[in-house]
Each structure stands twice: as structure tokens, then as C-alpha cells.
Amino acid sequence: MNDNQTTNGIIGSAVLALTGATCCALPIALVALGMGGVVASAVSALPWLGVLAEYKAVTFSLTAIILGYSWWRVRRSRLCEVGEGNRSRVQQIILWAITALFAASVFTAYALYPLTLFLDSLD
């Protein structure tokens, strides 16, 4: 079992999850905290954030595919290699953190606004 492929999958998952969080979850969270000026200045300083937000479905889909591949590689390596338990445990912890960040980003990007509208309509 090539552990470099597992590590590369985890690194790819982390980069894509952070990219998704940066383009979608972070701006919404900052605006919710009353820091809209920070978001405006970030988008003007980093114009690729606006472009990336237009392709969030592609970014999230690619992240989900690579996360699935990473989980598969970690699971497969854990079943094959008995002596590598500590490394596998660290990889699983990292993958759980990345998966949680990804889930929070997807929730923020797709469900938070409709949920806010629904809750406002109840008043």
C-alpha cells in the first residue's frame, strides 16, 4: 500500500476544503458577525474569491470526491498494514477535521440562507 497516495489525498482534501470555506463559509460568517467591510475589502484585494464563489458547486463536488477517496485509502491501508496504527489514527483525525470543515462549508453555502429566511418568516 503506497502511503504517499493516502497523504496526497488528505492534503488535496484539506486544500479544497479550505478553499470552499474561504470562498463560501468565511464571508457569510463574517457578514453574520457584522464584519461586512472585511468581506468587501477581501473580495477587492482577492478578486478570485468572487470567481471561485461562482463555481462553488464544482469546488464542493471535487472536494467530496477527493474526501471519499481519502477515506477509502485510509480505510484500505488500515486493513492491510497492521504495524501502522498510529499513522492511520493521525490520518483519521485529520480527515475527520477536514470532513467537519467541509460539512460546515456546504451547510453555510447552501442551507444557511434558506434556513434564515424560514426562521424570519415564522415571526
Q: What pLDDT is attached to residue 85?
A: 60
Q: Please report which confidence band the pLDDT of residue 6 belongs to, taking 50, 70 and 90 as the band edges.
A: low
Q: 41-53 pLDDT, tens per residue?
A: 877 787 777 777 7
Q: 68-96 pLDDT, tens per residue?
A: 888 888 887 765 555 556 677 788 888 89
Residue 37 CA: distances (Å) to CA of 28, 33, 34, 74: 12, 11, 8, 41
Q: What pLDDT is attached to residue 70?
A: 85
d(CA 121, CA 123): 5
Q: What pLDDT is attached to residue 75?
A: 80
pTM higher than the cut 0.85: no
Average model confidence (pLDDT) across the chain? 78
Contact 17, 56 (CB under 8 A): no
Q: What pLDDT is attached to residue 12?
A: 78
d(CA 117, CA 106): 17
Q: Please report which confidence band the pLDDT of residue 2 belongs to, taking 50, 70 and 90 as the band edges.
A: low
Q: Residues near 66 by Cβ (< 8 Å), separated by ≥ 6?
A: 9, 12, 13, 16
Question: How many other β-carbons are positioned within 10 Å of the β-carbon of residue 26?
Answer: 18
Q: Please report which confidence band the pLDDT of residue 22 belongs to, taking 50, 70 and 90 as the band edges.
A: confident
